[in-house]
Homo-oligomer: A and B are copies of this chain.
Amino acid sequence: MPYLRLRRRASLRSMHSVDATDARILRALAVDPRRTVVALAQELGLSRNTVQARLARLEQHAFLPFDRRINPASLGYPLLAFITVHVQQRQLAEITEEIARIPEVLEGHGLTGTADLLLRVVAVDAEDLFRIHGKILAIEGVDRTDTALAMGELIPFRMDPLLERGPRTPN
């Protein structure tokens, strides 16, 4: 029985990574997300087929859900806060589940170090934030919380410096 031969050349389709060409596509999209495939191809000097294939792959492996492009402020939640939560470690799963029931919690990360959880929370106003904070603190197993209001996006979210550098090139 013949054994399967190793792939001669690593298929980009199997390794979910992004090469320099993908990075160029991403940078172009960052400028204007509505650029058509045709426009991208022309702009980057690639064939439409190539761009289309790469975009399809990117959509599957490199794109996060669309949610992230929605501005909470335009939904009526202009306040942003980061809440760190200290919990009884062994109840972490249940606590996370409870916290996830709070709509204003947009994102939650488990952390190393002193804190256990870092939550990204939005609110309508200060009073609203206070209410949300209370809901979190009231959860069984939550020991302590620490709320920090974001006063300004000093460094607005960006990915361009990494795209510019090209993928996977440390130091």
Contact = CB atoms under 8 A, between A and B. Distances in A.
Interface of A: 16-18, 23, 26, 29-30, 33-34, 59, 61-72, 74-77, 80, 82, 92, 96, 99-100, 103-115, 117-120, 122, 124-125, 128, 131, 146-165, 167-168, 170-171
B65 A68 contact: no
Contacts of A113: 146-149
Nearest to A28: B66
Contact of A65 (B65, B111, B157, B168): B157
Contact of A34 (B59, B111, B115): B59
B131 A75 contact: no
Given A68-B69, A76-B18, A124-B170, A107 B156 contact: yes
